[in-house]
Amino acid sequence: MSPKKTSLKKKLSIIEEQMKEPASPTLPDFKETNRERSAKRLMWLGVISFSVIIAVLWGWSLAVQMSEFQLKRAPEYTLASKTKQEWSELFAKQKEDRNSREATLQQIRDAIKGLGALTATSTGQTTSTLTATSSVK
C-alpha cells in the first residue's frame, strides 16, 4: 500500500472513533453539582448583603443631609419669600386700584345724574326765558 492510502485510512479510522464517542462528557457526579449550588448561593448571599448595606448607608446619608439642611439659609428660600411678598403686594395694589376705579366711576355716575337733573331744570327755565324774550319783541 502506498503511504497516502494508509494515512487516509488512519484519518478515517480516527474520525470513526470520534463519531462513536459521545459529543459531550457524562454528567458530573453529585458532589460537583452540590459545590456549584453552594457557590451560587454564596455568591447571591454576598450580592444581596452588599446591596442591603449600600441601601442602608445611602438612606442614612440622606437623613444626615436632610437634618443638616436649613431652608432659611438657602437662596431658594429667600427667592420664594420675596416672590410671595411681591405677589401679595401686587394683589393688594390691584385691589386698591379696583376700589379707586369703582369709587371714581361712582363719582362720575353721581355727577352725570346731577348734570341730568340740572339739565332738566335748566332746560325748563331756558324755555320759559326764551319764550318770554321772544314775546317781548
d(CA 99, CA 8): 114
Note whether 71 and 77 are within 8 A (CB): yes
pLDDT single digits (tens) 25-44 = 666 556 667 888 889 999 99
* Least confident residue range of 15-19, 77-81, 88-92, 124-128: 124-128
pLDDT band at 137 (very low <50, low <70, confident <90, very high): very low
Mean pLDDT for 56-82 is 84
